[in-house]
Structure 1
Amino acid sequence: MREPNQSKNELSRRDFLGAVGKIGGASAVLGVMGTLGVFPSPAANASTSAGSEAVPSGSPAIGSSYVLRNVRLESGYVYEGTQVTSTSTIIRHLHIEQGVIAAIHSNAAKLPVNIPHYDAKKLLMLPAFKEMHIHLDKTFYGGPWRAVRPTTRGIFDRIAEEQVLLPQLLPTAQERAEKLIQLILGYGSTYVRSHCNIDPVVGTSNLEHLQKALHNYRDKIRHEIVAFPQHGLLLSNIESTMREAMRMGCTHVGGLDPTNVDGDMERSLQTMVQIAVDFKAGIDIHLHEGGETGLKAIRRLIDLTEQAALQGKVTVSHAFSLASLPAGEDEALFSKMASLGMSVASSVPIGRGVMPIPLMRKLGVNVILGNDSITDHWSPFGIGDVLQKAHLAAQLYGWSSEYNLSRALSLATGGIMPLSERGKRIWPRAGDEATGVLVEASCSAEAVARLSRRAATLYQGRVVSGTIQASATQ
């Protein structure tokens, strides 16, 4: 596959792969990565108890009112001429009422004394992250180490493998899903879109376990669930079970490689779209197909999105074929996707093709990130950190300046940013939900570049991972 042109500021593929190797080594030293089942939590003293009853010791209770003192907030960009050279910050005190930021106080302000005070110790507060493509229902995480088995028939070998593996994993599916939720909370994600197997082997059993796990964490994280026909929507004749999954509460209809797996692109896409229309649901299709096969599916899905009035409700996950679009055709296709509010979910893959994420973002396509597999039978990689995915994107696309690193944060936050493009503080504001992550960094650019440690994650005012310490009220 032809390499795209690179500017002087962009990494070559060889340089990038070398840099990724260095990240892995450094991460192991810093404790970001670990062996299976014992990934150290990125948040100090994070709760390891399951469910909504797990509240870190000394943390604010649900719906409580308190002051979070000494919070570092970004306040603007520092310029030399037209060049952003650094990011300025301020220290503020947040008055939190019933999960909402009621007021933001300066150091000179008189703070309430009749409610608890906690000390952020001048840690940087960033918007919480969004994990937008993960499989919480099937993982080896929390169990013995297992590497991936080689295949000769690609996805079809994986489907055959699952026919034996899924029943074996089913008894611990809920437990492992909860461990993964704890992991991503520790990295600062308070929103998750999880794909969940709907197949002839386990039916809706994985969904039942996943829903129980997410119910236990209902006070810590928002979620969406994609009914995912991993063994093929048509190939496994699973439409009726998919409809049952939608009746059980899935928010999105999934699909899988309509040509290479289902063998009938038109009927596969039509069936997926019809289910979505019938249940007034979104769509999130796994599209691994490359080249013209994948592009044909995307073009047809664009037509169906418009015809079915699904604007703003369709996501194409992976979409590897977009890396093969020639110049000119790419802009036209992305502009059409943007006009329909279509999203592309990516794990920022390292391979033969480079996903055109910068151009998609420039033309208005909503690009969202996810870890996809977390040490399962598809891949032994993935640490659960969406910020790491933004970090990899910054390396891959040469976003090494203060400004570009800062803007890369939006990939992890779902577009919520502390500063506008021109450097005006726009988050947080009084009235915003008190959901964010406290980070050991001086600014968002440093957090992206250095993968700074997450000290605590807040969801609707409650500390859901890590700890914040009580302080005196004066």
Structure 2
Amino acid sequence: MMNRKDFLKNAALGVAGATLVPGALQAQPNPVKAYTLKNVRLETGFVFEEGEAVATKTELFTVEIADGKIRRIGPNQPSSSAIDAKGKLMLPAFKDMHIHLDKTFYGGPWQAVKRRTGGVKGMIALEQQILPEMLKTSTYRAEKLIELLQSKGSSFARSHVNIEPTSKLDSLKNLEKALENKKNGFGAELVAFPQHGVFYTDSVPYLKEAAKTDIDFIGGLDPHSIDGAIEKTIDFTVQLALDHNKGIDIHLHESGDSGLKTVEYLIKKVNENPALKGKTYVSHCFVLGRIEKARQEEIAEQLGAAKVGIVSTIPFGGLIMPIPTLWKHGVEVLTGNDSIIDHWNTFGSGSVLQKASLAAQLYGYATESGLSRMLKLATGGILPLDEKGVQQWPKAGDAADLVLVDASCSAEAVSRIAPVTSLIHNGNIVF
């Protein structure tokens, strides 16, 4: 049987989720290996005044797509019989890099979050009660959640999936069914997530079993407050990742001394094991928003040197993450919706473009250049123009993972959370 990575890589060009939203393009009723788009708006540079980018230049182009790749970008041919993009702005498809597709109320009756007690351990107890029932519909609801992400322009996600004694590997198996059903319009990488603790509920045997599958990352959860042992938990996670050539993505909510010690110890282990550089992430990492500025700079520099990334859901209110400081030191910063309509959270919209817009507001990126830079939070780091306004995307040979949005440029798209009118994944017109 073809494994998940293979079928996502080799998926035939077809149609998935064609009825999501009306858009500039028509979903193809049959597999299409090659086609051409006309009237595609692409960014070509910045207009500078006194050294400041004050506007973005765009032109209309013809874009040829074949076998899941952009084959050619050429002068616009408006009179041709090509598929009409109607002047919409083409951007890289969006990526939700922190979400839990495997457990959601989305696709079922409305449920708001209930009053919770006991912190994360209290939520673990709640999950142990409700997961058996949730598993009965988790494949269907994951598919509906994928459709929501697609409608907001995302064709890829990094999904954490519960691996613990209650679900065992059933949550993983159910999610893989959903991903196979949606493979023509959506891709994913998976994190084996010990939501109930590595040792707190003895998830070790299930994590070891999951590591033998084609999941991509080994996860973790608050090693001190849940497992009571930072070094023991991190050592286990690191060794499991090394043994099976996986990455690491650890949930870290702890914002006190234990949170900082966890970050520092993880950096130490990554430096000791260079194979993990560029493959290790800390999700949330709220402690970075709690320490003083000088310490933020120091830790950001260490994270950048070790190539340890941060995945932030862009919290606001009393906790503002130092994302500009992380970028300053070369730290990869990704974002995602985390929970969408489940027992943890009620407010997820499914839009990572909204996350980029929120970040622009929080950090004061209100200029043409600043807004355009924030787009990388939605695209997983890809930007059409570099800081000098030189076009760097799209190029012939790039993956045909694209969105068309109703905006004149990236800056407007971020500022106004531009409506997504079309999505193309692996060359496949989703809608």
Instruction: Provide the C-alpha distance between the structure 2 equivalents of 1:453 and 1:109, rounded to a whole number of angstroms.
Output: 24
Instruction: Provide the C-alpha distance between the structure 2 equivalents of 1:291 and 1:58, rounded to a whole number of angstroms.
Output: 50
1:155–1:100: structure 2 CA closer, same or farther, 3 Å change rule? same
1:167–1:108: structure 2 CA closer, same or farther, 3 Å change rule? closer
Report whether the alignment pairs 1:100 with 2:65: no
Structure 1 residue aligned with 2:18: 47
Pairwise CA distance, 1:58: 4.9
Match of 2:51 among 74, 82, 101: 82
Q: Deviations along 1:327-351, whole A, 9 cap, x unmatched?
A: 3222221112111211100100123
Match of 2:278 among 303, 312, 332: 312
1:126–1:57: structure 2 CA closer, same or farther, 3 Å change rule? closer
Aligned AA (2:266): L
Describe the SS at the equivalent of 1:263.
coil
1:141–1:282: structure 2 CA closer, same or farther, 3 Å change rule? same
Report whether the alignment pairs 1:223 with 2:188: yes
Contact 1:60–1:463 at 8 Å: present in 2 too? no
Contact 2:61–2:77 at 8 Å: present in 1 too? no
Segment drifting more, 159-168 vs 241-250 = 241-250
Pairwise CA distance, 1:325: 2.3
Q: Deviations along 1:263-322, whole A, 9 cap, x unmatched?
A: 111111111111111111000000000021100100000001111221111000000000
Aligned AA (1:239): V
Structure 1 residue aligned with 2:397: 431
Instruction: Provide the C-alpha distance between the structure 2 equivalents of 1:210 and 1:460, rounded to a whole number of angstroms.
Output: 20
Structure 2 residue aligned with 1:266: 231
Instruction: Provide the C-alpha distance between the structure 2 equivalents of 1:302 and 1:58, rounded to a whole number of angstroms.
Output: 46
Match of 2:99 among 134, 140, 160: 134
Aligned AA (2:285): A
Structure 1 residue aligned with 2:417: 451
Instruction: Provide the C-alpha distance between the structure 2 equivalents of 1:46 and 1:268, rounded to a whole number of angstroms.
Output: 40
Match of 1:394 among 360, 363, 386: 360
What does 1:7-406 align with in structure 2 at a 5 Å threshold?
Answer: 47-48=18-19, 58-59=27-28, 61-107=30-76, 117-309=82-274, 310-406=276-372
Pairwise CA distance, 1:399: 0.9
Aligned AA (1:434): A
Pairwise CA distance, 1:91: 0.3
Aligned AA (1:75): T
Pairwise CA distance, 1:219: 2.1
Instruction: Provide the C-alpha distance between the structure 2 equivalents of 1:237 and 1:415, rounded to a whole number of angstroms.
Output: 36
- Listed as ranges, the gaps of 5+ residues in structure 1 are 1-44, 50-55, 467-474
Instruction: Provide the C-alpha distance between the structure 2 equivalents of 1:61 and 1:418, rounded to a whole number of angstroms.
Output: 31
Describe the SS at the equivalent of 2:321.
coil
Aligned AA (1:228): F
Segment drifting more, 329-338 vs 384-393 = 329-338
1:444–1:83: structure 2 CA closer, same or farther, 3 Å change rule? same
Instruction: Provide the C-alpha distance between the structure 2 equivalents of 1:339 and 1:58, rounded to a whole number of angstroms.
Output: 44
Percent identical: 46
Describe the SS at the equivalent of 1:298.
helix
Describe the SS at the equivalent of 1:382.
coil
Pairwise CA distance, 1:152: 2.5
Q: Deviations along 1:176-211, whole A, 9 cap, x unmatched?
A: 001111111111112210000111111110000001
Describe the SS at the equivalent of 1:87.
strand
Normalized against structure 1, the TM-score is what? 0.84
Pairwise CA distance, 1:61: 4.8
Aligned AA (1:145): W
Give the number of equivalent residue pairs: 411
Instruction: Provide the C-alpha distance between the structure 2 equivalents of 1:237 and 1:327, rounded to a whole number of angstroms.
Output: 38
Runs of 4+ in 1 over 2 A off after TM superposition: 45-49, 56-63, 107-111
